[in-house]
Amino acid sequence: MLQDIPSFLAYWRNARSRTVRVLAALEAGDLNWVPRPGAFSFGDLFRHLAGLERYMWAENVQGRPSTYPGHGASLALGLPELQAYLDRCHAESLAIFGRLTDADLLAPCTTPAGAPMPTWKWLRAMAEHEAHHRGQLYLMASLRGRSVAPLFGLTEAQVIEASQPDSKP
């Protein structure tokens, strides 16, 4: 369970910073690339994450219905516009989340499906949703030949190098 608002805000800032590392590794020509026809592009995924954070999760925790605008390119076309949209939605969401009290975490909010849920669980779902799409973004960046900083600072090879040999046969 999320225990308090300050620790959630710190966690959420860090989680989002790991996601936007991919955006920093992209070139303008990457934004509309899709791994297969009908799939989300990089731009679609970033607009989706930004819009849902601000217009679904942040609205729902205030007791309001979702106003999610979708992920269309008209929301943010190029890299600078996309970065600005992400930054604006994230800043507005953090301000809203920051107004919650620790007691609000236990209070129910209503999801777009109409299901009541403790606010802390709804915010946890937001983090899980972000992690899901972050994985897509990292894989897509790899498919495009873009180098993204390791998620938690070390590559697998570095973890193996830093690991102790197993003493079991």
Report the pLDDT value the prediction gives residue 1, as an integer from 0 to 100: 64
Rounded Cα distance between 82 and 76, Å, is: 5
Whether the pLDDT of residue 2 is over 80: the answer is: no
Report the pLDDT value the prediction gives residue 45, as an integer from 0 to 100: 98
Contact (Cβ atoms closer than 8 angstroms) between residue 58 and residue 88: no
Report the pLDDT value the prediction gives residue 149, as an integer from 0 to 100: 85
For the segment 91-117, what is each residue's pLDDT rounded down to a tens digit?
999 999 999 999 999 999 999 999 999
Of the pLDDT bands very low, low, confident and very high (cuts 50, 70, 90), residue 150 is confident
One-letter amino acid identity for 19?
A: T
Whether the pLDDT of residue 169 is over 60: the answer is: no
Report the pLDDT value the prediction gives residue 145, as an integer from 0 to 100: 96
